[in-house]
Each structure stands twice: as structure tokens, then as C-alpha cells.
Amino acid sequence: MRAGLGQIGLGSFARKSEDCLRPGRGSIWFQRGVLWLLAAILVGGAVWLLMPPSEANVAPTRPVKLALASVEPPSPTTVSNTSAAEVASLDRMRISSQTWRRGGLGSKALVTFTLRNDNDYAIKDVEIVCAFTRRDGSHLTDRSRVLTDTVGMKSRKTFARVPVGFVNVNADQAKCSLVTARRV
């Protein structure tokens, strides 16, 4: 075998590999290598055990104190006076035009719409909800947003590129609707 490997230039390799198989010098190197590998595994395991655990995987060790609160329900006259005065009628408000596009590397929905207020009072804190659908019309998700701007009485206001939230990559159409509003 040595002559065949010597012809292609690997004669010294063949001699060294045969020396490693003899019970002498070659097996000592092999035994030392195994010992170093075991020592490295042992040291690595000890370091891993001594490391503090990450915060995400550990339950809090301090006890949590719970507080009980008692709240008296408001009287019926207080509730009816404040809620009726603040909630605006949606009958005379509508979204007259709307479009949407993607933003934020295609993952966020940006809605542009015109809100028309035909009431005799100004409104604010308008909440809208947008329903996103696939191209075939099947429903994907709903996203809502509260707009803190004021829309004057008998006027309209255009809200441009309002971020509504993250949307599915398959969303193709959006339809926004009014949910609530407050009187100013």
C-alpha cells in the first residue's frame, strides 16, 4: 500500500497514518485530544450553569402584592347627564371619501379619508374602524384608531395618511366606518 500512495505523492501521509495506529506515539496524541475535548466540555458546562438566566424565561421571584379597591357606582342621574352630553350623534356624520395604501415596508396601513360633520356642534375624539379584505372579498382583519383632532360644525376635514395599524400581506381592500365621536 505504501508504494501505491508514494506514486501519487502521499507516501509520507501513509507512513504517519500507520504510525498513529501502532500502540505507541500515535495513540498518545489521540488520547490527549480526547482528554482536551472532555475538559473543554466540562468547562463549558460549568460556565453555562453559572450564568444567570435570561429575564424572558424566568418568573419573577418577588411576591406580587394585589390591592383591592372598592368603587361606588355613580348615580343614574350623573351617568345620563355626562354621557348624553359627550357622545355625538353619528346620524349626521359620515366618511365622504377614503383611500388607503401601504407604508412601513408594506406592513402598515395608511388611510386617507374625509370626515364630514353636518351637526350643529363640533366633534372630537372620532373613532374609526377599518375592515381589511382579500381580493376575493373574504375578511382578514379589523383595525381601529381614535383621532383626537376637532372637526368643526357643518364642516369637513381630510385626514391624510393616518396609520391605522399592521395589516396582513394579503389585504387588498379597506372599508372604514365611524364608531363613536364626542361633542366639543
- Say how far apart CA 100 and CA 176 lie, in whole Å: 10
Nearest partner of 133 among 101, 167, 164, judged by Cα: 167
Helix (H) or strand (E) holding 7, with range, is helix 2-7
- Say how far apart CA 144 and CA 167 lie, in whole Å: 12
DSSP state of 143: E
Q: Where are the domains of the chain?
A: 2-50, 86-183
Map grid coordinates 381601529 to a residue.
144
* Residue range 7-14: mean pLDDT, rounded: 53
For 86-183, CATH number out of 2.60.40, 4.10.320, 3.20.20, 1.10.8 equals 2.60.40
* Residue range 55-83: mean pLDDT, rounded: 51
Question: Between residues 90 and 78, which one has the greater pLDDT?
Answer: 90
Question: What percentage of residues in the chain have a pLDDT greater than 90?
Answer: 46
Please give the pLDDT value at position 166. 92
- Say how far apart CA 34 and CA 66 lie, in whole Å: 56
The grid cell for 138 is: 373574504
pLDDT band at 66 (very low <50, low <70, confident <90, very high): very low
Question: Between residues 134 and 67, which one has the greater pLDDT?
Answer: 134
* pLDDT surpassing 60 at residue 4: no
- Say how far apart CA 78 and CA 90 lie, in whole Å: 23
Nearest partner of 159 among 151, 169, 171, judged by Cα: 151
pLDDT digits (tens, 9 = 90+) for 82-97: 455 478 888 899 999 9
Map grid coordinates 501521509 to a residue.
13
* pLDDT surpassing 70 at residue 33: yes
Amino acid at 156: R
Question: Between residues 110 and 29, which one has the greater pLDDT?
Answer: 110
By mean pLDDT, which of 29-33, 116-120, 137-141 is the weakest?
29-33
pLDDT digits (tens, 9 = 90+) for 96-105: 999 999 998 8
pLDDT digits (tens, 9 = 90+) for 127-175: 999 999 999 999 999 999 999 999 999 999 999 999 999 998 999 999 9
Nearest partner of 182 among 135, 145, 144, 149, judged by Cα: 149
* Residue range 65-72: mean pLDDT, rounded: 50
